[in-house]
Structure 1
Amino acid sequence: MRSIFPILSFLYATAFAVAEPVLSKPFLTPLNSTTGWIIGNGLWNITIGDVYGKKLFYGGRDLIGDAVGHYQGYDGENNFVWTSASIYKETPEYLDVVFSATEIDLHWIIYPDQAGAYQYVENKALPTLAVLRTLFRLDNTTFTHGRTNIKDDILPPFSDILASTKVQDETWQRADGTFITKYDFSDFIRNLDFHGVYGSEFGSWYIRPGRDYLNGNHLKQELTVHRESATGDAVELNVIHGSHFQVNSSATFPVGKIWGPWLWYLNSGSTDDAAERAAQEFASWPYSWLNDSDYQSRGSVSGRLVLSDGRPAANASVFLGDNNSNKSTLDQGEHYYYAATADSQGNFNISDVRTGTYGFYAWSDGGSIANVSTTFSRNDIAVQNGDETALGLLTWETQARKPIFQIGELDHKALGFRNGGLLYQHALVAQSPANLTYTIGQSNESDWYFGQSALGAWTVLFDLAAANVSSNGSAVLSLSLAGYSKGASLDVSINSNLLASLTSTTLPNDPSLYRSATIAGEWRYFEFDIGAGVLQAGTNSLVFEVTNTTLWRGFLWDSIILEWKE
């Protein structure tokens, strides 16, 4: 009797072969009679008109349906109009298709076996702008969930938005008092591994390794995904230059600046699969396939930061940014940027830095240097291709003052305070009390709240010995704000002596508090001299009184430091 196993093996192999996707070369196909093109491969394809990409087919399904689709634009709805599409480069491995508008070129790098494509944008004639983005708006029934590295949840149902009351930009209040807002899916973009929208059968993801083309420092936050309020579309945002949580991001870019490349990736909706792919992409950056001499020309910067009192600048935030800039590191955005963290000994090494001349900046990220209110900067840091720029030992001058007390670590963040560091959520500052008393030596850091907004006074009580008052006399009060949202005023006084009034007329607005932030907006720092005779032996009071307020606006706290002036 002849064995049946070879027959079964043949049938199994045949069935397996049929189950494998049929791959085809990447393609660009112009449409007849109207402006438009189809691009893709054997796994997916999308039809792109003069502005919008529609009819995204993958896995036998149109993933856009009645949604708006794929498009690019700046500052609201200034969307790019494609005047041409052409094959920029074709290799045995991939096809590079470039879509051209007056302002930019958008490249799609399409491999035959890849569900999705790499993309990058090159500046041709962009105006000065604050927001630059690419995005997909996808079918609202297929894509039910959104995912970032800190939030993985259902997108608010469109029916909930329609049944709720709008209370501010893209924010609605339900009948039960809870809120719906697109800002609750925001994130610190330099921490993102991947983000996107997904459902039970499909997922669409942005994976952005490198990130040197993004504006801002470690605390740069942006929108990621949300439910579109007018149509219910599932929105997958790729904000590559943005301003939603900072004072200013208006920038004028050099011709030829490249944003990207990033990977737009399609799958079955598996977050595990997307995570695995993200790990591969991060390991592959900088991409060897991008044949651009400026992109490939890179070096590194290393050194060691030590404080002037001898302490290593342990875990300090370090940043390579604009040279000789008068902008905050959060607001810088015209060129390329590198955010890193020093080790426990103050050592840092920033690799794969594009060649050029940079400013180098450092500041406390808490921990053993949480009392350091000064920052470090050095300009004219030249990076050459293939070389290490060794800065050697860098001495960071501290404020060198004797402490009286400190509330909160100085790290530019509201962590450690009540509600500080919770997930993004609208109106959280409304839970902060109008009046509060904090007693040094008795109260805990968590007794102070992350944000102050309501009319009322927060009072800090502290005792001083007569010997300290007589020998020292004058002092310095340092206030570090993690953010400030315009519409509130704060009087700062000590023992009934007014030190300062912080108001909207002198403080520029960042939208952190009213856009769901619980950690940071844009950092501000103030020092106020306290003359001899103001502090007294026994109990003293430091008062922060909100004298004017607007709902959900106010002050996001970082640290309060009182020191003897020496």
Structure 2
Amino acid sequence: MANKATLQLDIHDHHVVMDNGILAVTLSKPDGNVTGIKYSNIDNILEVRDKEAHRGYWDLVWNSGTPGTTGTFDEMRGKEFEVVVQNEEQIELSFKRNYSFKDKEVPLNIDKRFIMLRNSSGFYSYAIYEHLREWPPFNLPQTRIVFKLSKDKFHYMAIADNRKRSMPLPDDRVGRRGKTLDFPEAVLLVHPREAAFKGEVDDKYQYSCENKDLKVHGWISMDPSDDPPVGFWQITPSSEFRSGGPLKQNLTSHVGPYALAMFLSAHYGGEELVLKMNPDEPWKKVFGPVFFYLNSVPNGTDPLSLWEDAKTQMTKEVQSWPYSFPASENFPPPNQRGRLTGNLFVLDRYVNQEQMPAAEAYVGLAAPGDAGSWQTETKGYQFWTKTDAYGSFSIENVRIGDYNLYAWVPGFIGDYHYDVVISVSAGSDIDIGDLVFEPPRNGPTVWEIGIPDRSANEFYIPDPNPNYINKLYVDHPDRFRQYGLWERYAELYPDTDLVYTVGVSDYPKDWFFAHVNRTRNDGSHLPTTWQIKFTLDNNVDKSGIYKLRVALATANVAELQIRVNNLEVEHALFTTGQIGHDNAIARHGIHGLYRLYSVDMSGSVLVEGENTIFLSQIINDSSFNGVMYDYIRLEGPPSDVSTHP
């Protein structure tokens, strides 16, 4: 896509145009909304039937401190326009809106930036948010960039190699063409314009993605009137500015056709993932830059090669991070960042009496806090990597600041937390040495169910109701993304609940992926109690303490109560209390926030022979109350570890 054309900047009364000879981007002035993108033979790839303000824009949702995840929608229109950089290599534009006490706007200074480089087939955007100490507190549930492309042209969407397909039209979701299901995002396509989509369910949450994998997604126009086919891609080279860490799930692209760059959201976590600005708290954060990439291929070439090219471009952007060209002093270039290296080991003496390398572990720097607090951290920056087979890790390009180090290791429960404050300075290269994670462990494993990987994906996920299918996910590894799977529980267990017998049952076949209510024909919901049956020999330690470890992959307005050998006893041995607003059940997620509970169980409540643990989810307001289990383990009383392998 190399081009020798020079950069041009045309400033008009109400618009400004950046043009590098490959593409031209028109923005409203001083609002800072993208109203047009000219590329190839297409005068505007955006949806021209929408208002100019609704084609390409930053937005946020905020409130003055109200509980929940809703608030006032704000398109963040700028009030001041400035040319920050204009030379032969780069244009950078600023669209600012400064807070005023008299305005009924979010108490933030907002500076939206747009960058175009010479010979680049795309453009960049980032924003600086600032809250001063003397300003009112507020909540910020969401902020993002939205592009709505031409619905006449962009019909093919790609998120991953195994998640790409032709998509329905937005018209198919409304009026007589679509039927809204149990929540408004999910629509059954009853009379779509293209018969191939008839009977499918369309839901934007079916296309969500974890931050660690969310680097490129977008759309392809295969319109025969366009010569050649064109792609539009949203590329996020780093997740350092996203909230919630590497497992946080965000929206990507969906019917519209929309392409989103999500920075902060409460999706799959609820209110715990809402940024809450406290009284007298100063704050500043840079979101981005992210890259919007356009590509094309000659007519007659496979249009899907545009996806392959987009992935190649994504790799180039990742390798170029952190960028050296943003003009704001709030975005530090590579030489103003630091590095941290080390080695992580696991010590679980009931597995191995020697330290084991923590292979393929996730290790990250985030704001100082408690173990696992990175899951709900929203105000700062996070920097994550994975260890190699020997447990070695290197966290690169860390912003100046104070951090704790966090980690978790697939195959082991719990969170590692190195709570010594690590101060990163410009150019620092810190070797933290050898770290040892001792996961929660009280005694030898009596039995276990599942795999400790913070997901319920290994459990039984049923086939969807044939009346509610997304064809993309038929015979797909992500079979959990089908609509209505929670309803299958009542079909499989119409009268009695799940019973799992240790040593006989097989969790991939016999442990339903979500502990949900049973929905009756009249629409009401019954709470459910699952049973784990297991046999103990005559070596029950009546005076010892057994430990039940229950790791939850998600919870949504649920209360899990645990009883042993007597379901009728009034007071449960343990209760979580009401937990969670993750909404992963309804939104086709296989996990939300990770929660680990450790329950002491006196040997006196156990018997020689058959025992039963009762797991009761008692809140029954809707189909979506429930939990997903990650892993359950019963440990015996402490014993001489030398007798265990």
CA distance in 1, matches of 2:478, 2:550: 20
Q: How far 1:325 sits from its partner (Å)?
A: 5.3
Q: Which secondary structure does the structure 2 equivalent of 1:245 belong to?
A: coil
The residue number in structure 2 matching 1:197 is 219
Pairing partner for 2:345 from 295, 299, 306: 306
What is the aligned partner in structure 2 of residue 242 from structure 1? 265
Identity across aligned pairs (percent)? 24
1:41 matches 2:20: yes
Residue 239 of structure 1 deviates from its aligned partner by: 0.9
Distance 1:547 1:325 in 2: 29
The yes-or-no answer on 1:132 pairing with 2:138 is no
**Deviation, structure 1 residue 404:** 0.9
Aligned to 1:457: 529
Is the contact between residue 414 and residue 421 of structure 1 (CA under 8 Å) also seen in structure 2?
no
Residues 454 and 553 of structure 2 are in contact (CA less than 8 Å); yes or no, is this contact kept in structure 1? yes
Instruction: Give the 3-state SS of the residue equivalent to 1:271 in structure 2.
Output: helix
Query: Which of 466, 489, 493 pairs up with 2:563?
Result: 493
Q: Is the 8 A contact 1:318 1:341 kept in 2?
A: yes
Which of 394, 403, 424 matches 2:445? 403
Deviation at 1:194, TM superposition (A): 0.7
Structure 1 equivalent of residue 93 of structure 2: 97
1:212-257 deviation digits (Å, cap 9, x = unpaired):
1111122111001112xxxxx3111111122211132222496542
1:423-462 superposed matches below 5 A: 424-432=481-489, 433-434=492-493, 435-446=497-508, 447-455=510-518, 456-462=528-534
- Matching residue's letter, 1:354: R
Which residue is 1:290 aligned to? 326
Once the two structures are TM-superposed, the CA of residue 423 in structure 1 deviates from its matched residue by: 5.3
How far apart are the structure 2 equivalents of 1:82 and 1:40? 21
Preserved contact between residue 339 and residue 396 of structure 2 (Cα < 8 Å) = yes
* TM-aligned CA distance change 1:530 to 1:421, over 3 Å: farther
Hey, what does 1:224 align to over in structure 2? Answer: 252
Q: 1:547/1:250 Cα in 2 relative to 1: closer, same or farther (>3 Å)?
A: closer
User: How far apart in 1 are the matches of 2:563 and 2:247?
Assistant: 30
Task: State the AA in 1 paired with 2:37.
Answer: L
- For 1:130 and 1:327, the matched residues in 2 are separated by 20
* Corresponding residue of 2:183: 168
Q: CA deviation at 1:303?
A: 1.6
Aligned partners of 1:124 and 1:36: how far apart in 2? 26
Corresponding residue number in structure 1 for 2:49: 66
Residue pair 1:474, 1:564 contacting (<8 A) in 2 also: yes
Q: Using the TM superposition, name which of 307-316 and 440-449 deviates more.
A: 307-316
Question: Which amino acid in 1 is paired with 2:488?
Answer: Q
Q: Does 1:273 align with 2:309?
A: yes
| CA deviation map 1:72-105 (0-9, x unaligned) | 1101631111223222013332111222223321
Match of 1:157 in 2: 169
SS of match in other structure, 2:314: helix
The CA deviation string for residues 401-441 of structure 1, in whole angstroms up to 9 with x for no partner, is 22111111222111311229535333223233442222111
CA distance in 1, matches of 2:546, 2:624: 33
- Deviations along 1:98-118, one digit per CA (max 9) or x if unpaired, are 222233212222123222212
SS of residue in 2 equivalent to 1:243: coil
**Residues 1:211 and 2:239 aligned together:** yes
Residue identity matched to 1:235: Y
Q: In structure 1, the residue corresponding to 2:398 is in which secondary structure?
A: strand
1:471 deviates by 6.5
The one of 372, 375, 385 equivalent to 2:426 is 385
Q: Secondary structure at the match of 1:513?
A: coil
Cα deviation for residue 186 of structure 1 reads: 0.6
Letter in 2 for 1:425: Q
| Distance verdict in 2 for CA 1:398–1:516, change over 3 Å | closer
Alignment partners' CA distance in 2, 1:512 and 1:336: 25
1:187 to 187, 190, 209: 209
Of stretches 409-418 and 118-127 in structure 1, the one that deviates more from structure 2 is 118-127
Distance in structure 1 (CA, Å) of the matches to 2:36 and 2:315 = 29
Selected match of 2:394 from 336, 345, 349: 349
Which amino acid in structure 1 is aligned with residue 627 of structure 2?
Answer: F
Instruction: Identify which range, 168-177 or 350-359, moves more after superposition.
Output: 168-177
Using the TM superposition, give the Cα deviation of residue 128 of structure 1 relative to its aligned residue in structure 2, in angstroms.
3.9
Give 5+ residue unaligned stretches, structure 1.
1-19, 228-232
CA RMSD of aligned residues (A): 2.5
**Secondary structure of 2:77's aligned partner:** coil
Cα gap change, 1:324/1:551 in structure 2, threshold over 3 Å: closer, same or farther?
A: closer
* 1:272/1:397 CA distance change after superposition, 3 Å: closer
The answer to whether the aligner puts 1:417 opposite 2:459 as a matched pair is yes
Aligned residues: 531
**Conserved? CA contact 1:165–1:174, under 8 Å:** yes
* 2:295 partner amino acid: N
Cα distance in 1, alignment partners of residues 627 and 383 from structure 2: 28
Corresponding residue for 1:31?
12
Instruction: Quote the Cα distance in structure 2 between the aligned partners of 1:305 and 1:81.
Output: 46
- The Cα of 1:122 is off from its aligned counterpart by 1.4
In structure 1, give the amino acid aligned to 2:116.
I
Deviates more, 1:304-313 or 1:180-189: 304-313
2:37: which partner in 1? 56
The residue aligned with 1:556 is: 628
Q: Is the 8 A contact 2:368 2:402 kept in 1?
A: yes
1:108-133 CA distance string (max 9 Å, x none)? 22123222212221123495412111
CA gap of 1:553–1:426, structure 2 versus 1, over 3 A, is farther
Which range is displaced more, 536-545 or 431-440?
431-440
- Cα 1:46–1:182 change in 2 (3 A) is same
- Cα distance in 2, alignment partners of residues 281 and 300 from structure 1: 20
3-state secondary structure, aligned to 2:273: coil
| Residue 41 of structure 1: how far off its partner (Å) | 2.6
* Deviation of 1:48 (Å): 2.2
Worse overlay, 128-137 or 308-317: 308-317
**Cα–Cα, structure 1 residues 344 and 95, in superposed 2: closer, same or farther, change >3 Å?**
same
Distance 1:59 1:74 in 2: 32
CA spacing shift, 1:118–1:219, aligned 2, 3 Å: same
Code of the aligned partner of 1:462: F
Cα offset for 1:345? 2.9
Kept in 1: contact 2:407–2:415 (CA 8 A):
no
